[in-house]
Structure 1
Amino acid sequence: MSAFSLKIDIADNRYFNGETSPLFSRRQAQQARHFHQKITGYQPTPLYALKDLSALLGVKNILVKDESQRFGLNAFKMLGGSYAIARLLCEKYQLNIDDFSFDTLKTTIKEKMTFATTTDGNHGRGVAWAAKQLGQNAVVYMPKGSAQERVDAILKLGAECIVTDMNYDDTVRYTMKVAQENGWEVVQDTAWEGYTKIPTWIMQGYATLADEAVEQMTSMGITRPTHVFLQAGVGAMAGGVLGYLVDVYGASNLHSVVVEPELADCLYRSGVKGHIVNVGGDMATIMAGLACGEPNPLGWEVLRNCATQFISCQDAVAALGMRVLGNPLGHDPRVISGESGAVGTGILAAVHYHPQRDALMQKLGLDRDSVVLVISTEGDTDAKHYREVVWEGKHPATR
């Protein structure tokens, strides 16, 4: 068997207490899913069982939730933005979210609104999509180095899109300033003092994918996963999804691992210290959707309480995951997974081929009875770079 060593730093969460959050519960997730089910074109994204890969890697099952098939947007992010915008408008016009429909709201809105956000690509596309559905405006700011394909995808939805010369976190602050000056509504998936309601709604919206996955696992005869690998930028998706899963299964019954790129590993560092640690600089990782240096405090609280471990890894791990999912073993289905989407699977593959495989498997609690859930959060949202990785071998596992 081939052996190669990719950088995978694993930190046990010494601050784990298993406390769940009422904000990110099964009940909240199911309310969000009820909203999403009323959107034209809604259907659960597939949950694939990679049986042949599981056999190779020495676990019972690897389950991949393929979010590239979400409303034709190639990523999961619209789940949060659309739900938050709907909740915001229901609050403004005294409507019940359970009775909400885009068509009803279009006729209710009396003055055109502008929604502003910062994005690495997928979240902004989701906000632009929701604004278009409602006949509203969206202004989207992106950090320097953003791929033109991601910019174009937002522009095609009728939003204004501006690429700044700042990193993600500084762009968030700039967006807030401009939005306040113009009276725009900010729809951001990170939180700070005085800005928690909308990020909470966004995180609750993300949990729709977890509610689907639990339902799908039940239909497959799977009682529960033993492990879940959740990639994190600010930690909004990881926090929202983990909050739901621990409410369903119990935090002590789920080995949960939060995965980040080493150039933007703010949650890994926070997990080591037990308090929020920010990361600055350019954060020039290929995992653009995870290139965030300041944790969402709402997500951090859930992860600090309920995550089992934190991982910081090099970009080649994500590239390995892209190639593994895109070139399946045996009869496994093919999954087109982008840089941020594939890193969970990349960790599993990198561990398998590592010279210290057995020690890493033991560290992660992986064995023949493990059922591992991973979320492929995006497809090839930067198709050019996807081909460079999968076809041309960019970011190789060995040199």
Structure 2
Amino acid sequence: MSQFELKIAIADNGRFHPKTDPRFGQQTAREARHFHHTLNGYRPTPLYAMNHFAQALGVSQVLVKDESQRFCLNAFKMLGGTWAIARLLCQKLNLDIQRFSFEKFRRQGIPPMTFATTTDGNHGRGVAWAARELGQHAVIYMPKGSSPFRVKHITDLGAECIVTDMNYDDTVRLTMRMAAERGWEVVQDTAWEGYTDVPTWIMQGYATLADEAAEQMESMLNAPPTHLLLQAGVGAMAGGVLGYFADRYGADRLHTIVVEPDRADCLYRSALQGDIVNVSGDMNTIMAGLACGEPNPLGWPLLRDNVRQFISCEDRVAALGMRVLGNPLEGDPQIVSGESGAVTVGLLAAVMHHPKRAALMKQLNLTPESRILAISTEGDTDPQHYREVVWEGKDAI
């Protein structure tokens, strides 16, 4: 096997102190999943066993949940947006969330409102889809450098999409100003003072995929995961999914690793500091969905308490993961995974080929008994860039 060394900075979490949060556990996840089950086209996304990859790595199992097959939207994000919008409408209109459905709401002919959000692509697509299904309006702001393909995915759903000349976090602040001026409802996946309900609901919505994965994994292996690999932008998905698994299995029995791009590694830096650290600048990474510089303050306590290690890695790690999943070892399933979706499997592949493989395996507590769960959070949401990486060798080793 060839050897090569990619940049992987590992921060062992000295503040690991397992603690659950009742807002982000099994009960709230199952409430959200019950709602998602009412949506036309709902079905659990597949969980694939990468048996030959696991053997090459030297572990028992590597399982990858393929969120590219979520409601034909090519990413997991709509889980959070739809649940949050449903909860928001029930709160504003005094409706019963247990009886709420998009189809029933649309038939009521309630005057349309406008939902606004900032996105790197997938979250905005989910909000736009939900607004269309409800007969409402959506205005989606995107940071500078956003892919034209991701813009088109949003406008094709009938939403207005505005690409700014600012980074992600500054675009969030612009969205807030415009929404306040124009009376729009903000559906954002990070929290700030006075704005916590919607991001809480979004994190709870993401846990639908965790509930599915736990059922699937136990059905396949009759055993829980030993390792949970999560990619992070603001940390909303990572916090929501980890909250579920910590409640179900206990964080002390689960080795959770959070992975970020080195150009937007706010959680990694926060782990080193012991408190929230913001990253500014352009955050020019191929992992567009993770290019966020300010941690979600709702998700950070869960991650601080329950994550074993935070990892900051270069873009070539994500590119490697895209190629590994798209061109698997013989007998393993092929998974089309985008830049943000593939970074965790890219990390495992980078460890496999690293000159210091044995030391890294030991540090990450990867053994022949390890059962690893990773989530491919998106498919080829930018098809041109996907081909540039997988076919043309962009960000090559």
Q: TM-score range by the shorter chain?
A: over 0.9
Give, in whole Å, the separation in 2 of the partners of 1:308 and 1:96.
Answer: 39
Match of 1:313 in 2: 313
Match of 1:168 in 2: 168
- The reply on whether 1:113 has 2:113 as its aligned counterpart is yes
Shift of the alpha carbon at 1:92? 1.4
Letter in 2 for 1:305: D
Match of 2:80 in 1: 80
Shift of the alpha carbon at 1:80? 0.3
Equivalent position SS for 1:259: strand
Query: Which segments of structure 1 move beyond 4 Å, counting only runs of 4 or more?
Result: none
Give, in whole Å, the separation in 2 of the partners of 1:99 and 1:329.
Answer: 46
Equivalent position SS for 1:220: helix
- The reply on whether 1:154 has 2:160 as its aligned counterpart is no
Deviations 1:209-265 (A, max 9, x none): 000000101211331100011000000000000000000000100000000000000
Letter in 1 for 2:314: Q
Equivalent position SS for 2:126: helix
Give, in whole Å, the separation in 2 of the partners of 1:115 and 1:108.
Answer: 18
Equivalent position SS for 2:298: helix
Match of 1:270 in 2: 270
Structure 2 unaligned segments of length 5 or more: list them: none
- TM-score w.r.t. the length of structure 1 is 0.99
Letter in 2 for 1:144: K
Give, in whole Å, the separation in 2 of the partners of 1:257 and 1:348.
Answer: 11
Match of 1:8 in 2: 8
- The reply on whether 1:91 has 2:115 as its aligned counterpart is no
1:1-399 aligned at under 5 Å gives the runs 1-108=1-108, 110-397=110-397
Structure 1 unaligned segments of length 5 or more: list them: none
Letter in 1 for 2:135: G
Shift of the alpha carbon at 1:94? 1.5
Equivalent position SS for 1:110: coil
Letter in 2 for 1:394: K
Give, in whole Å, the separation in 2 of the partners of 1:97 and 1:364.
Answer: 41
Give, in whole Å, the separation in 2 of the partners of 1:221 and 1:369.
Answer: 12
Shift of the alpha carbon at 1:91? 1.1
Shift of the alpha carbon at 1:109? 5.3
Deviations 1:252-297 (A, max 9, x none): 0000000000000000000111100000000000000000000000
Give, in whole Å, the separation in 2 of the partners of 1:137 and 1:278.
Answer: 32
- TM-score w.r.t. the length of structure 2 is 0.99
Give, in whole Å, the separation in 1 of the partners of 2:374 and 2:319.
Answer: 16
Give, in whole Å, the separation in 2 of the partners of 1:46 and 1:331.
Answer: 17
Equivalent position SS for 2:3: coil
Give, in whole Å, the separation in 2 of the partners of 1:24 and 1:274.
Answer: 22
Shift of the alpha carbon at 1:110? 2.5
Letter in 1 for 2:189: D
Shift of the alpha carbon at 1:330? 1.3
Letter in 1 for 2:297: P
Give, in whole Å, the separation in 2 of the partners of 1:372 and 1:222.
Answer: 14
Letter in 2 for 1:4: F
Deviations 1:15-49 (A, max 9, x none): 11101101100000000000000101000000000
Give, in whole Å, the separation in 1 of the partners of 2:64 and 2:217.
Answer: 11
Deviations 1:73-124 (A, max 9, x none): 0000000000000000111121111111112111335321000000000000
Q: What's the C-alpha RMSD, in Å, of the aligned pairs? A: 0.7
Identical residues among aligned pairs (%): 69
Give, in whole Å, the separation in 1 of the partners of 2:317 and 2:357.
Answer: 15
Give, in whole Å, the separation in 1 of the partners of 2:98 and 2:221.
Answer: 31
Give, in whole Å, the separation in 2 of the partners of 1:91 and 1:194.
Answer: 16
Give, in whole Å, the separation in 1 of the partners of 2:121 and 2:240.
Answer: 20
